[in-house]
């Protein structure tokens, strides 16, 4: 593909400061770049660095690929080249109604939220050539990457981060929005010390129609609440469980119910409790352990009922009442693989057998009548 004319004339890499070298106003620069790079999408609808999406967003690089979408860094030519992030669904999923329904739901929720600890969304052009979301471009790293460099997060730091997430959750829950996919990958630690809660791909508003899924509910098994494993709708307390699981990992350095088989993980969440955090890391305070175990109660009624209540304990751990929850923990009932397999095979054996028995009974009844 030939280089865009503007880049040849100015000999400036995308994103550089054109004003000093060309002496042009921002409006003129934006117009020149639109004309030089062009507004037609690349072949097969692929978005690449150098493309200007909808005549407004100049793509500079790919930030990350996900299973459902790709995140791009771009410059908003209509807003003084403001750096933004664009979330664009994978082209192969663009025609999938379920995928687009989730994306539209995320866009709907994005229009409702405005909180310093929640990813900020900007208004997209009214006429879009393809579906996408416009988000603030954050400088920092995810909690997942931060935890990969250290065994455990210091307790005071972990409680502070969890408190920030609670603030974001309380804001969302007051607007009847549940995130439903809390995990370290969806928490950004910004360079300025703040946090952002990200990715509302499977978030739910209580006013939205329920989506149905084949198999089990969407989410990440390592942080999924028991009621979500059981395909129940869940509520604000579902997010509290997810945050408790994240805090468990930050304090202990291990994932609760860790196992290579997702089915074993989900079975353990439904039938048992995690190992006591202080048994894994004795340096944890009894108060921090109490907070984690209360958030991770299997019964939602026994958890914190609001994120604000959990935040109060995180901000004042010295006032946390110790109830001895760790003494009442129950081990998970082992999943019986043989029984699981038998349940899958049984219908294929029992249904034909039942039909044969039914046929025999009908024949016997017919003969008796004669």
Q: What distance in Å separates the CA atoms of residue 167 and residue 229, rounded to the nearest whole number?
A: 25
Is 313 an annotated catalytic residue?
A: no
Q: What distance in Å separates the CA atoms of residue 158 and residue 247, rounded to the nearest whole number?
A: 7
Characterize the bridge pairing of strands 69-76 and 82-89.
antiparallel
Q: What distance in Å separates the CA atoms of residue 182 and residue 250, rounded to the nearest whole number?
A: 14
Active-site entry in 78, 114, 181, 239: 181
Characterize the bridge pairing of strands 177-178 and 187-190.
unpaired
**Among candidate residues 186, 211, 210, 207, the one with its CA nearest the CA of residue 135:** 186
Residues 46/91, Cβ–Cβ less than 8 Å? yes
**Among candidate residues 148, 329, 168, 167, the one with its CA nearest the CA of residue 249:** 148
The first and second tokens of residue 22, run together, are 């060309």
**Among candidate residues 278, 267, 366, the one with its CA nearest the CA of residue 322:** 278
- Collapsed DSSP state (helix, strand, coil) of residue 4: coil
- Collapsed DSSP state (helix, strand, coil) of residue 197: strand
Element (H, E) at 132: none
What are the phi and psi torsion angles at 37 (to 5°)? Answer: -85, -30
* Active-site residue list: 181
């Amino acid at each position: 593909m030939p280089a865009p004319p503007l880049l040849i004339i100015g000999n400036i890499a995308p994103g550089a400061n054109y004003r000093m070298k060309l002496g042009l106003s921002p409006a003129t620069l934006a117009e020149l770049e639109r004309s030089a790079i062009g507004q037609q999408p690349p072949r097969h609808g692929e978005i690449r660095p150098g493309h200007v999406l909808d005549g407004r967003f100049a793509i500079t690089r790919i930030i990350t690929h996900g299973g459902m979408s790709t995140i791009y860094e771009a410059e908003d030519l209509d807003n003084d080249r403001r750096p933004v992030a664009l979330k664009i669904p994978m082209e192969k999923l663009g025609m999938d109604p379920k995928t687009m329904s989730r994306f539209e739901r995320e866009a709907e929720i994005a229009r409702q939220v405005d909180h310093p600890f929640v990813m900020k969304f900007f208004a997209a052009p009214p006429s879009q050539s393809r579906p996408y979301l416009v988000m603030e471009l954050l400088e920092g790293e995810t909690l997942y990457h931060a935890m990969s460099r250290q065994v455990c997060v210091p307790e005071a730091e972990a409680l502070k981060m969890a408190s920030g997430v609670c603030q974001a959750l309380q804001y969302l829950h007051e607007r009847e929005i549940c995130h439903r996919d809390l995990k370290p990958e969806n928490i950004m630690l910004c360079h300025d010390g703040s946090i952002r809660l990200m990715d509302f791909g499977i978030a739910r508003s209580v006013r939205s129609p329920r989506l149905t899924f084949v198999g089990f509910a969407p989410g990440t098994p390592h942080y999924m609440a028991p009621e979500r494993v059981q395909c129940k709708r869940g509520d604000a307390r579902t997010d509290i469980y997810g945050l408790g699981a994240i805090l468990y990992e930050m304090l202990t350095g291990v994932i609760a119910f860790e196992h290579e088989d997702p089915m074993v993980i989900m079975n353990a969440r439904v039938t048992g409790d995690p190992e006591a955090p202080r048994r894994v890391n004795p340096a944890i305070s009894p108060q921090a352990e109490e907070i984690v175990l209360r958030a991770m109660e299997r019964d939602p009624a026994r958890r914190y009922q609001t994120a604000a209540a959990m935040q109060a304990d995180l901000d004042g751990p010295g006032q946390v009442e110790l109830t001895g929850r760790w003494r009442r923990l129950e081990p998970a009932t082992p999943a019986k693989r043989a029984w699981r397999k038998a349940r899958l095979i049984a219908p294929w054996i029992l249904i034909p057998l039942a039909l044969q028995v039914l046929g025999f009974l009908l024949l016997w009844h017919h003969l008796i009548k004669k």
